[in-house]
Structure 1
Amino acid sequence: MNCLNCCCDSGETNELKIEGDVGADPIWCSRCGCNLDLEEVPISERLTEELLSWATKYGEWIDWNKDILLPNGMELEDEFNQIGVSLTKGVKQEIGGRYHIKFIPSTSAKSYANRKSGFR
């Protein structure tokens, strides 16, 4: 089985998670949490571009200057997660036989909503 370089003791992984985060490629090692270079993942150029475009939209539901959730933040995050599910299906179709792949949805809007409600 083909493996990707990561920070695990073995130095490689075939367990991947797709997750958005600020300023990071959206593919990570599921075991050690190492952010993987998307260019090294053996997927099509089209899917690579779609994942990169999706990843740049992470956090668009947050006003980073004011550190608050936008009024439609929950809906924006839900849409982001729905696209992530779809992209994960595409990755699984292309390389799912060689890698274990899961999607981790964003929950940051819920965290911001709880802060507004006084929960921390």
Structure 2
Amino acid sequence: MLKPDEVERRLPVWVALSELFLDAEFDEIACRYVAERLRCSGFGLQELEDILRDEVAPAFLPNFLVAGEWSGWSPEAVRDIVLSHLEKQSNRPRLPVILRRRWRQWTMEPVARDWEKVKATLISVSAS
């Protein structure tokens, strides 16, 4: 489980990445907002992708399975959702590697296109 200081460092990232899971159009303004929040986080691109894939995507995927949230979550709600997911995961037996990879792909599918836009924005801002 994450230490309190790790949770606090990740929280702005979790909040920004949760925007990818809203039941609403992910437009250019949302993309720039998410990219800017992630850029300021101090995490590298691979770390951000790992956080998305392992912490945020599986926790927020259910929002796409029902009539989902479209206005966003408070930081407290995001923290509770992600930590609840991580706690459940730590209590489950680990899946074999091949199933873990497939699960990670499946949880990313609904946001893959939007994540690519965010990554491109992050890369272009870093290059300038």
TM-score normalised by L of structure 2: 0.29
Q: Which has the higher contact order (CA 8 A, sep 6+)?
A: 2
Would you tell me which structure has more helix in proportion to its own residues?
2
Point out the structure with max Rg over C-alpha: 1
TM-score normalised by L of structure 1: 0.30
